[in-house]
Amino acid sequence: MRPVGLDTVAIVALLDRSERLHKRCVAAIGGISRPLITCEAVIAESCYLLRELPGAAEAVVENVNRGIFVIRFQLAQSAAAVHRILHKYRDMEIDFADACLIRLAEEVESGEILTLDRDFRVYRWGRNQPFEPLIAIG
């Protein structure tokens, strides 16, 4: 069963009801029965961005604890690859979490991702494979 990548902006929109695309994210995640995989950088970013919303950071961590958000990435084993990705996309000012998600896609051989980030239209994983955002990103 191919997992689906999970990006920060999707987690934020999922948990913050005031986000414009909240309902779209809830519907997208609710329609997926495959594992939602991510990295600790995405979890940290999500908690930071949701810091003003009471209970949101706890909800993010609870989703990890319950196995809804699955951490399937080890930087220690992928540092050279992440460095390569950061270098490749440095003109786009790629952030660390996105670089880790690109590497994660390579590791699990799947470019399906829950994101609202338009940069994933440009990013490539593996040997020039495009990402497949499962939420329309306009």
More confident residue, 1 or 129: 129
Decide if pLDDT at 109 tops 70: yes
Two structure tokens written together for 10: 């999707």
Under DSSP, the state recorded for 34 is: S
The average pLDDT across 46-67 equals 97
pLDDT tens per residue, range 16-55: 999 999 999 999 988 899 999 999 999 999 999 999 999 9
Check: pTM over 0.85? Answer yes or no.
yes
Decide if pLDDT at 137 tops 70: no
Residue 77 located in a structural domain = yes
Residue 63 located in a structural domain = yes
Domains contained in the chain, number: 1
Rounded-to-10 torsion of CA 18, 14, 109, 125:
10
Residue 86 located in a structural domain = yes
> Domain span at residue 21?
4-128
- Tokens 């191919």 locate to 2
- Beta-sheet strands, E only, within 15-125: 36-38, 69-71, 112-114, 124-125
Residue 22 located in a structural domain = yes
pLDDT tens per residue, range 83-102: 999 999 999 999 999 999 99
CATH number at residue 18: 3.40.50.1010
